[in-house]
Amino acid sequence: MLDHMLRASLETGRTIMIIYHRDSRFTEREIRVTGIGSDYVTAYCYLRNQRRTFRKDKILAAAFCSKQSA
């Protein structure tokens, strides 16, 4: 399911909301995927307003956003 959402975001430009776990903290991030590797995802992160790299195994949940970011 996660891989399907990541690919759909990459192919269509849709944003997705993820719950990400890093350094004993959880963050909710709205992202638009720009690349997919075997273990990593590159995406524009609207929380940080820049391109970021996310480890797939640290993404705990994902859902399509109901509205599109500008």
Give the residue among 33, 57, 54 at the shortest CA–CA distance from 44. Answer: 33
In this predicted structure, what is the pLDDT of residue 55?
97
Q: Where are the domains of the chain?
A: 2-64
Give the three-state DSSP class for 15. coil
In this predicted structure, what is the pLDDT of residue 32?
96
Q: Residue 56 is encoded by which pair of tokens?
A: 């797939």
Contacts of 36 (CB under 8 A, 6+ apart): 6, 7, 10, 42
Pick the CATH number of 2-64 from 2.70.98, 2.60.120, 2.30.30, 2.60.40: 2.30.30
pLDDT digits (tens, 9 = 90+) for 30-69: 999 999 999 999 999 999 999 999 999 999 999 998 865 5
Q: Residue 17 is encoded by which pair of tokens?
A: 């909301």
H or E stretch covering 60: strand 59-64
